[in-house]
Amino acid sequence: MGTRPEAIKMAPIVKELEKHSNKVKTIVTVSGQHREMLDQVLNLFNIKVDYDLNIMKPNQTLFDIVSILLIELKKVLNNEKPDVILVQGDTTTSFATCLAAYFLKIFIAHVEAGLRTYNKYSPFPEEINRRLTGVLSDLHFAPTKSAFNNLVQENINKKTIFITGNTVIDALLMTVRDNYDFGTIKDDKIAKRLLKIDFNKRIILVTAHRRENFGEPLENICYAIKKLIENNNNIEVVYPVHMNPNVREPVNKILGNLERVYIIPPLDYEPFVQLMSKSFIILTDSGGIQEEAPSLGKPVFVMRNHTERPEAVEAGTVKLVGTDWRLIVNETQKLLDDKVEYNKMAKTVNPYGDGKAAERIVNCLLGLPFEEFNPNTKSNL
């Protein structure tokens, strides 16, 4: 794993594998594609790293990540000779790892397999990363039935696909708590900033950092936030802003001087989960939040034109609004004004998981009894 989302979703599997240390040796390798954001998740879940490739460097490109990883992973794989490699999701780390494993004819298992938009540039480069990972993998842990169906349509053998739910729900339920104190955050500046938020008001949480939204789309997102603040005295906006200058510069230019808008650095996973749980509405271009928010009963507006997670849209907890500032404002305002409309989206039934995905994955790997995830089964709600 190499990024924060990967670490969050793999952590429950690592902890579950640790319960079976008499049967399996677990080797954790990180690429360091993200650095500080990755490390804080590993620390939170107390995960010991066996190999840290630490590939991150200033202004690294996709070319750098893939080429360096192939060379470095060859050394690790030749040294350890693993029976199975587990990769997660759709990162460049996952794709490069699968390619290295394929070259060495090592069995590959893909966690969170089968997500698709069928638009190769949206999201970029994740859509192609996950498709190529799927082609190279031998075992596919699909989080949902629709992900299973996507794989079947691509001629993946049904016998190699298992519906598990998504491990992000496992991680979420392991982390969220009612009595969390933002004052305990190690960074004093962030802690003081968050303690100023009036949680008696309606909190709109914003995350927007995807490459395809750089430029005018991100500016439109910022203008939408500005308009919402101007139109509503009873809301406050919290925006953890990615360090990339393509994100920071337009956000600070358009929103930097507005009252009731809290622009903060990216949060560690633990405080971010608590912030999600205290929010009223979430505006995002992230993938994982679309899965997590339904477990917390939070409506989500996705500021992208495509989503690889249609289940939440079908369930009514998520809406696609793209990056048209008028549509973002209109849809958000509708929920601020209409309690009935809000409650329609705030349903707590989560189509993505029940907190047992890691257990299912490990049981499958070890040949133990396996019962697939079904959100319509009462025991899974």
Establish whether 259 is a catalytic residue.
Answer: no
Strands across the sheet containing 318-320: 261-264, 235-240, 202-207, 281-284, 300-302, 318-320
Q: Work out the number of other CB atoms within 10 angstroms of the CB of residue 67.
A: 13
Establish whether 306 is a catalytic residue.
Answer: no
Establish whether 209 is a catalytic residue.
Answer: yes
47 near 28, Cβ under 8 Å?
A: yes
233, 297, 299, 310, 336 from 341: Cα distances, Å? 20, 13, 10, 20, 9
Q: Catalytic one among 20, 35, 193, 211?
A: 211
169, 188, 266 from 37: Cα distances, Å? 19, 17, 8
93 near 2, Cβ under 8 Å?
A: yes
Give the three-state DSSP class for 239: strand
Q: Catalytic one among 242, 248, 260, 306?
A: 242
Q: Catalytic one among 4, 131, 209, 360?
A: 209
- Distance, CA of 225 to CA of 255 (rounded, Å): 8
288 near 5, Cβ under 8 Å?
A: yes
Q: Work out the number of other CB atoms within 10 angstroms of the CB of residue 226.
A: 17
Q: Catalytic one among 6, 126, 127, 236?
A: 126
Establish whether 90 is a catalytic residue.
Answer: yes
Helices and strands: H and E segment counts in the chain: 16, 12
Q: Catalytic one among 112, 308, 331, 354?
A: 112
Residue of 220, 222, 285 whose CA lies nearest to 253: 222
Give the three-state DSSP class for 140: strand
Establish whether 198 is a catalytic residue.
Answer: no
Establish whether 292 is a catalytic residue.
Answer: no
Give the DSSP letter string of 28-71: -EE--SSSHHHHHHHHHTTPPPSEE-----TT--HHHHHHHHHH
Q: Catalytic one among 6, 16, 72, 90?
A: 90
Which residues are part of the catalytic machinery? Answer: 90, 112, 126, 209, 211, 242
